Amino acid sequence: MRAIRDRLRAYYGRPRNEPHHAPLDELVLTVLSQNTNDRNRDVAYTRLRARFPDWESVARAPVQEIEEAIRPGGISKVKSRRIKSMLGAIAEDAGTLDLAALATAPRDDAIAFLERLPGVGRKTAACVLLFSFDRPELPVDTHVYRVSSRLGLIRPKASFLVAHETLRAIVDPDDVYEVHVNMLRHGRRICTARNPQCESCPLLDLCPYGQAHV
């Protein structure tokens, strides 16, 4: 794992996490990013923030007002309901919309709390903890999954949940953000789904899949 980390670091650089301490923003962005591209997601998010002064106001607002604000992000009827029910579930479970306690809560409690929220799975929970608070959870998306699988870091056909736990166990906590970002870059640029460029890959000699296919 460290050899892979070092190769990717030499190739892509060493990204540094800058935790934003805004877990609700992260959760709402996740809902808004469903079935759309980053640009439309960002337009919807900006409109939502411009329309409401804080998340408490969003939680209290009629769902039609939320829907109107996020319309450019697509399937706004579904997303507005999701956002409202998620904020409602947080307020009910935590007693507040302030999630700062997730920064220091025991790991299992923090994950369990987030995964109880409607529509939140392990990847989203990991995104919230990593990007908001720099907690060492490695979000496994389709790119991270594919690259890890080809490299033999996770067992064939492992579930995303097992992949998450496996990578979490083998990546040094201080490297989680870096490994996540660089595997994502690698999956988008070189280790693509249909046409991986194994011949020019900096990981070729470490990769069982690449060795078998060049």
- Give the CB-nearest residue to ligand SF4: 210
Q: Are 88 and 95 in contact (CB under 8 A)?
A: no
201 contributes a contact to ligand SF4 by CB under 6 A: yes
User: Per CB under 6 A, which of residues 99..158 are in contact with ligand SF4?
Assistant: 147, 150-151
Among positions 163, 167, 190, 212, the unique one binding ligand SF4 when judged by CB under 6 A:
190
Three-class DSSP category at 19? coil
Tell which phi-psi region holds residue 204, choosing left (phi > 0), alpha (psi between -120 and 50) or beta: alpha
* Phi and psi torsions of 5, nearest 5°: -55, -45
Instruction: Name the DSSP class of 205.
Output: G
- Closer residue to ligand SF4 in complex, CB, 144/203: 203
Q: Which stretch binds ligand SF4 (CB under 6 A): 13-21, 89-97, 107-115, 204-212?
A: 204-212
On the 0-12 / 13-18 / 19+ scale of CB atoms within 10 A, 34 is: middle
Among positions 28, 86, 171, 203, the unique one binding ligand SF4 when judged by CB under 6 A:
203
Q: Which stretch binds ligand SF4 (CB under 6 A): 50-58, 89-97, 166-174, 199-207?
A: 199-207
191 contributes a contact to ligand SF4 by CB under 6 A: yes
Q: How far apart are the first and last CA of the chain?
A: 22
CB atoms within 10 A of CB 214: 11
Residue 144 C-beta: closest distance to ligand SF4, Å: 12
The residues binding ligand SF4 (CB under 6 A) are 147, 150-151, 190-191, 196-198, 201, 203-204, 207, 209-210
